[in-house]
Amino acid sequence: MGATTYAVMAAHWPSASGPFAKPMNEIPKVVFSDSLASAGWGETTIATGDLAQAITRLKQERSDGYLLAHGGARFARSLVETGLIDEYRLLIHPAVLGAGERIFLAPLTIEPMSTTVFSGGAVAHVFAAHP
C-alpha cells in the first residue's frame, strides 16, 4: 500500500473490533514510500526506492507468490506501470463522482475470470493480466 492508504488504515485497524480486525492487524504489510520514516502499525515494513525492484523481490520471497495491493489510484497506476501485476481485482461501487483519477492510462490485455455482485450494488471483477 502507499503511504496515504497506510495512514488511514493504521489509524483505524489497531483499535477496531469485528471479524476483520485481528487478521488486518496480524497480516504482514508493506508500505511503499520514500517519505515515511517509521511505521507504528504492527507487522508493517517500509519499502523505499524502485517500486518494480521491490515488487519483484517480494514476489520471490513469498513462497506462495501471492501479494495483494491495496491503495488509491496513484498507487494502483504506479503498480500497473511496472508490468508486474498478474491479476486485477477491481471492486466497483455505484457512485457517480463526475471526475477522478484514471488507473489505466493505456490499453491492457486482460481476460475476465469472474464477477461477483453484492447486495449493496457493488460489483467485484477479477481479470487475469497478460503481458
Q: Are residues 76 and 41 in the same domain?
A: yes
Q: Are residues 23 and 73 in the same domain?
A: yes
Q: Are residues 65 and 7 in the same domain?
A: yes
Q: Are residues 60 and 99 in the same domain?
A: no
Q: Are residues 94 and 62 in the same domain?
A: no
Angle between helices 73-82 and 51-61 (to 10 degrees): 80
Domain range for 29: 1-85
Q: Are residues 28 and 71 in the same domain?
A: yes
d(CA 27, CA 130): 28
Q: Are residues 92 and 30 in the same domain?
A: no
Number of structural domains the chain divides into: 2
d(CA 31, CA 1): 5
What are φ and ψ of residue 79, in 5° steps?
-65, -40
Q: Are residues 78 and 113 in the same domain?
A: no
Q: Are residues 129 and 116 in the same domain?
A: yes
pLDDT of residue 96: 79
* pLDDT per residue as tens digits for the range 59-102: 888 877 689 998 888 899 999 999 999 999 999 988 877 888 88
Q: Are residues 78 and 96 in the same domain?
A: no
Q: Are residues 91 and 79 in the same domain?
A: no
Q: Are residues 80 and 105 in the same domain?
A: no
pLDDT of residue 65: 67
Q: What is the pTM of this model?
A: 0.82
